[in-house]
Amino acid sequence: MKILLVFAHPEPKSLSASLRDVAVHELEAAGHEVRVSDLYAMNWKSQIDRADFPALASGERLLPVAASKNAFTTDTLTDDVKVEIDKLLWADTLILQFPLWWFTMPAILKGWVDRVFAYGFAYGVGEHSDKRWGDRYGEGTLAGKRAMLIVAAGGWQEHYGPRGVNGPIDDLLFPINHGILYYPGYNVLPPFVTYSTDRYNEERFEAAAQDLRERMRTLETTVSIPYRHQNGGDYHIPTMELREGLETPGVSGFALHLRRVAD
Amino acid sequence: MKILLVFAHPEPKSLSASLRDVAVHELEAAGHEVRVSDLYAMNWKSQIDRADFPALASGERLLPVAASKNAFTTDTLTDDVKVEIDKLLWADTLILQFPLWWFTMPAILKGWVDRVFAYGFAYGVGEHSDKRWGDRYGEGTLAGKRAMLIVAAGGWQEHYGPRGVNGPIDDLLFPINHGILYYPGYNVLPPFVTYSTDRYNEERFEAAAQDLRERMRTLETTVSIPYRHQNGGDYHIPTMELREGLETPGVSGFALHLRRVAD
């Protein structure tokens, strides 16, 4: 396999960095090719702005969607973005690794998504009409590839449980797993999440490392989250609302977009 | 009222900027004081890194939580962050305004949260023990103040509806409304969201502007989202799981953390 790991923590001696090294070593020991985009080490530019679109005339309005479409089409994206796009096309598996800050990814990683997931590449792909709303949610440029998250959370696991005050971790990560990874086509694996990171000791680290090694060993065989295909008949077009009666009785919210287990 | 509007769009002539001007003018016409943090215009630094903690010795590990705590306690946060904290303490109402990019806020605004919401200010406030898990979720430094989101989304409203493929907008915004705004104490008002922004015309703009003016006129009286207080008896401590039987029958996920309407 060819694996791209995008890493977002500012400290090379952090717990996240140690877990990254565990994952990379396990994958390389199994003969896989691994590339790491260490965003802080790369001094990655976090925010999208005019500098991302050198073809934009001075004085011309910056409409991010239109500018992104034009830059991708005319191959005028900046070099740092082009390199990341090439890595994504090269890899058959993408891993995003980050500490959970304010219940989502750090700004620098969000900026990687905002800048690299260009129109024509990660969105705005395929026919958009009253009959078809693009190639997305299970189709798209990155279809057939796999993706997963490696997340370190400061709070207790129970705080992120089905009744925990922070909200269930699967719901907190849905905008990333479904909205960012599944959207351009990735098959998304269940995330690896470790909790209570401020209370880590040698023993807990070794247990987490063992779990992570097992996840890396099974990267090719782990069953992906059964999100529904947008264009497989489950949704009305163009309103993209789930057809009546398809859901597991009693289910609502994000979980509607999971296929029923019996399906 | 004193209102701080934090704005995150790179284009001064964008739809978002036009709606911002509508909101600001309406508030000022009503005699309120308004300050705007226009993050792109301020050249706001998006990512948290070592430069945020000048008191950190070179070679010392950067543990963001510990570094934030130390910097807030010793008043060694950077000046740009201190200014924003002072604005938050000055304002009785906070508005975050942004285009919805990849189902959440742009990186530059996430970086404003990551950097300004310091330990001891927005989290790590109050007693943390087996009896009390801090002053948060309805208590904290910013308790008694109000906050709301103004969001512009490219997709159709139906795509963000209860059965829409993107997931319900209230669930997509929960990590922000509950996890970022309610956490340090804000009473969070229902968001103002406008959709299909790529199909705007004069007529639609004027309709949205009218709705937004009405929301600004009722900023003081709009009923906030009835999130549960963490320390009001609804949660087990220290696992912070919602006590059995408190929820509306059939409700799960994020909506568990809303009080029942009859309560």
- pLDDT tens for chain B, 263 residues long, are 999 999 999 999 999 999 999 999 999 999 999 999 999 999 999 999 999 999 999 899 999 999 999 999 999 999 999 999 999 999 999 999 999 999 999 999 999 999 999 999 999 999 987 788 899 999 999 999 999 999 999 999 999 999 999 999 999 999 999 999 999 999 999 999 999 998 889 999 999 999 999 999 999 999 999 999 999 999 999 999 999 999 988 888 999 999 986 54
Residues of B in contact with A259 (CB under 8 A): none
The predicted structure's pLDDT at residue A67: 97
Query: Residue A43: how many CB atoms within 10 A of its CB?
Result: 10
* pLDDT tens-place string over residues B16-25: 999 999 999 9
pTM assigned to the model: 0.98
Beta-carbon contacts of residue A202 (< 8 Å; ≥ 6 apart) = none
pLDDT of residue A230: 96
Cβ–Cβ pairs < 8 A, chains A and B? 209
Collapse the DSSP code of B106 into the 3-class scheme (helix H, G, I; strand E, B; otherwise coil) and give the result. Answer: coil
Tell me, yes or no, if B165 comes closer than 8 A to chain A by beta carbon: yes
- Strand, coil or helix: A164: strand
Q: A198 vs B65: CB contact, 8 Å cut-off?
A: yes
Q: Taking CB atoms and an 8 Å limit, are B241 and A47 in contact across chains?
A: no
Dihedral sign (CA A134, A140, A143, A146): negative
Chain A CB within 8 Å of residue B237 CB: no
Residues 78-117 of A with CB under 8 A from B: 99, 101-108, 110-111, 113-114, 117
DSSP lists the bridge partners of residue A235 as A242
A256 with B48: Cβ contact below 8 A = no
Place of tokens 């604005």: B87
Q: Taking CB atoms and an 8 Å limit, are B106 and A110 in contact across chains?
A: yes
pLDDT at A130 (0 to 100): 76
Q: Do residues B195 and B160 touch, judged by C-beta distance below 8 A?
A: yes
CA–CA–CA angle A117, A118, A121 (5° rounding): 90
**ipTM score assigned to the predicted complex:** 0.97
- Among chain A residues, the shortest Cα distance to B227 is held by A165
CB A132 within 8 A of CB A223: no
pLDDT at B249: 86
CB contact under 8 A, B253 and A257: no
Structure tokens given for A17: 């960095």
Of A102, A168, A240, the CB nearest to B253: A168
Q: pLDDT digit of tens for each residue in chain A (263 aa)?
A: 999 999 999 999 999 999 999 999 999 999 999 999 999 999 999 999 999 999 999 899 999 999 999 999 999 999 999 999 999 999 999 999 999 999 999 999 999 999 999 999 999 999 987 778 899 999 999 999 999 999 999 999 999 999 999 999 999 999 999 999 999 999 999 999 999 998 889 999 999 999 999 999 999 999 999 999 999 999 999 999 999 999 988 888 999 999 986 54
The pLDDT value recorded for residue A88 is 98
CA–CA distances in Å: residue B243 to residues A140, A201, A202, B257: 43, 31, 34, 11
Distance of alpha carbon B93 from alpha carbon B67, whole angstroms: 28
**Distance between CA atoms of residues A70 and A64, nearest Å:** 10
Q: Check if CATH label 3.40.50.360 holds for domain A2-224.
A: yes
How far is the alpha carbon of B263 from chain A, nearest alpha carbon, in Å? 18
Between chains, do B10 and A62 touch, taking CB under 8 Å as contact? yes
Which of A13, A107, A168 has its CB closest to that of B114?
A107
pLDDT digits (tens, 9 = 90+) for B6-59: 999 999 999 999 999 999 999 999 999 999 999 999 999 999 999 999 999 989
For residues A263 and B183, the answer to whether their CB atoms sit within 8 Å is no
Q: Do B11 and A63 touch (CB under 8 A)?
A: yes
User: Counting beta carbons within 10 angstroms of the beta carbon of residue A136, is it exposed (0 to 12), middle (13 to 18) or buried (19 or more)?
Assistant: buried
CA distance B193 to B151: 5
Cβ distance of B240 and A113 shorter than 8 Å: no
Distances (CA, A) of B1 to A18, B93, B138, B143, B182: 48, 7, 21, 16, 20
The Cα of B165 is separated from the nearest Cα of chain A by a number of Å equal to 6
Q: How many residues can be counted in chain B?
A: 263
Nearest chain A residue to B158 by CA: give it.
A239
Strand partners, B123: B119
- Domain residue ranges of chain B, discontinuous segments joined by +: 2-224
Buried b (16+ CB within 10 A) or exposed e, B210-245: eebbebbeebeeeeebebbebbeebbeeeebbbeee
